[in-house]
Amino acid sequence: MKAVVVHGTGDLRVDDLPDPSAAPGEVLVEMEWGGICGSDLAYWRHGRSGTAVLKRPMVLGHEVAGRIVEVASDVTDLEAGQRVTFQPAQLVGDGIMPPRLVGRTNLYPAVRYFGSAGFDPHTDGGFCQLKAVRADQIRRLPEKVPTKDGAVAEPLAVAIHAVQRVDVAGRTVLVNGCGPIGALIVAAAKFAGAATVIAADVSESSLGVARAMGADQIVNVSGRQLPSDVELVFEASGVPATLGAVLHATAKGGTLVQVGNLPGSEITAVLGDLISREISWIGSYRFSEEIDDAIAALAAGLDVGPLMTHTFGIEDAAEAMRVAADRSTGSSKVMLRLN
């Protein structure tokens, strides 16, 4: 089979690997679609993503979907032909959470994730033509959800988790940063009943995607300031230099949800408004089981089509990564056709 493998910094290859088979407790999935994520780009460009450092070749990809082609004999609730996506997280150990964190498995201390170098040996991802997957990580797609949309369920789950950290129903929301996650937060907030969603970015193409995903207003902050006194703000850019402006845009007594990944090193930021405006600043990390909410939202009509701006075949994965990494191309979510 063919697979998209990162071998080191700047070294991405489409390798021929042995076909896997379903071991006990697993199913074999013929992969159909994959979406390129920022962490895939980080492994390719820098040889690391956050604190996870690439030590050996690894198959990329955790935003994926496909069709079951083989089921192990001890798996009784799945069958060949079913269209599926995945819960890419696998807890390592007993899975027991302290009482205050019950249900918040995204905060479990040891998690293997598709396409992650967090453990050694690394956990191969799904940018491949065939993948053997634990049956408990399989999520079936409803009839009306195609696998291309199903591959977006994982980042949509990230957005839904962030939106569910607060109550957006009937309220005005600002989303700063309209890359794929920011655009999905726009859609998730509207789906959850937000009255008005304002999307802010420096890129007109990204703002166009946000508008198509449901934003009521757009603001290009390369020439304008953020709106003021917004009760609920989602920071999705992960750019430390914007934090002062984002905090200042948050209304007194309002809430800022930090979704964009911030550096793990020292940064310079203007944070005075956090105190003087009594802002609640909360984090949002991945998701627990909101993958099921994402699939339900897709089935209910949440349209992720405008997000998927570019499509490439698996053999053109290197070009797909270059396009995804270059915002001047107008790319948002770049998709790989895996078979």
Q: Domain coordinates of the chain in residue numbers? A: 2-156+287-337, 166-283
The one-character DSSP state at 303 is -
Average pLDDT, the chain: 97
> How many Å apart are CA 19 and CA 183, to the nearest integer?
36
pLDDT of residue 264: 78
Confidence of residue 17 (pLDDT cuts 50, 70, 90): very high
Confidence of residue 266 (pLDDT cuts 50, 70, 90): confident
List pLDDT tens digits, range 205-223: 999 999 999 999 999 999 8
Q: Are strands 11-16 and 89-91 parallel, antiparallel or unpaired?
A: unpaired
On whether the CB atoms of residues 132 and 28 are closer than 8 A, the answer is yes
Q: Where is 293: in which H helix or E strand? A: helix 290-299
Confidence of residue 114 (pLDDT cuts 50, 70, 90): very high
pLDDT at position 145 over 90 = yes
Q: Please name the CATH architecture into which domain 166-283 falls.
A: 3-Layer(aba) Sandwich (3.40)
pLDDT of residue 262: 86
Fold of 2-156+287-337: Quinone Oxidoreductase; Chain A, domain 1 (3.90.180)
Confidence of residue 337 (pLDDT cuts 50, 70, 90): very high
List pLDDT tens digits, range 25-63: 999 999 999 999 999 999 999 999 988 999 999 999 999
